[in-house]
Amino acid sequence: MAYRRCLQALTRQAHDATTFLFTHPSSPSLRPFPTAAISSPISTNPRPISAFAQWCHLRYFSTSKQDDHVKNGANSEDDDGDEDDYSDEEDDEDEVEYDVGDYVAGGSKGKKVLTAEEKEAEAAAIGYKVEGPLLEKDGVFKPYEPVFAVVQIGSHQFKVSNGDSIFTERLKFCEVNDKLILNKVMLLGSATQTIIGRPTVPDAAVHAVVEEHALDAKVIIFKKKRRKNYRRTRGHRQELTKLRITDIQGIEKPPIVLDEKPLKAAKKEQEKVAAPA
pTM: 0.54
Pick the closest to residue 151 from 143, 162, 140, 136 (CA basis).
162
Burial 158-195 (b: 16+ CB within 10 A, else e): bebebeeebebeebebbeeebbbbbbbbbbbbbeeeeb
pLDDT > 70 fraction of the chain, expressed in percent and rounded: 58
Please determine, for residue 61, whether its predicted confidence score (pLDDT) is greater than 80. no
pLDDT of 274 strictly over 80: no
176 Cα distance to chain centroid: 24
CA distances from 228 to 205, 221, 224, 234 (A): 54, 18, 8, 18
Residue 215 parent element (H or E): strand 205-215
Q: DSSP H helical segments within 1-149, as ranges? A: 2-23, 65-75, 88-94, 116-126
Give CA–CA dist 32/2, Å, rounded.
33
Question: Do the beta carbons of residue 137 and residue 179 sit within 8 Å?
Answer: no
- Dihedral Cα 271, 272, 275, 277, nearest 10 deg: -110
Q: pLDDT class for 201, splitting at 50, 70, 90?
A: very high
Q: Is the pLDDT of residue 153 over 70?
A: yes
pLDDT in tens, 170-183: 999 999 999 999 99
DSSP one-letter code for 102 = G
Q: Is the per-residue pLDDT at 42 higher than 80?
A: no
Closest listed residue to residue 164, CA positions, set 247, 249, 240, 244: 244
pLDDT of residue 262: 61
DSSP H helical ranges for the chain: 2-23, 65-75, 88-94, 116-126, 261-274
pLDDT attached to residue 96: 46
Mean pLDDT of the chain: 76
Cα dihedral sign, 82-87-92-93: negative
pLDDT the model gives residue 139: 84
Q: Is the pLDDT of residue 206 over 50?
A: yes
From edge to edge, which strands make up the β-sheet containing 178-182? 128-133, 178-182, 205-215, 239-249, 165-169
Q: Output the pLDDT for position 32.
A: 52
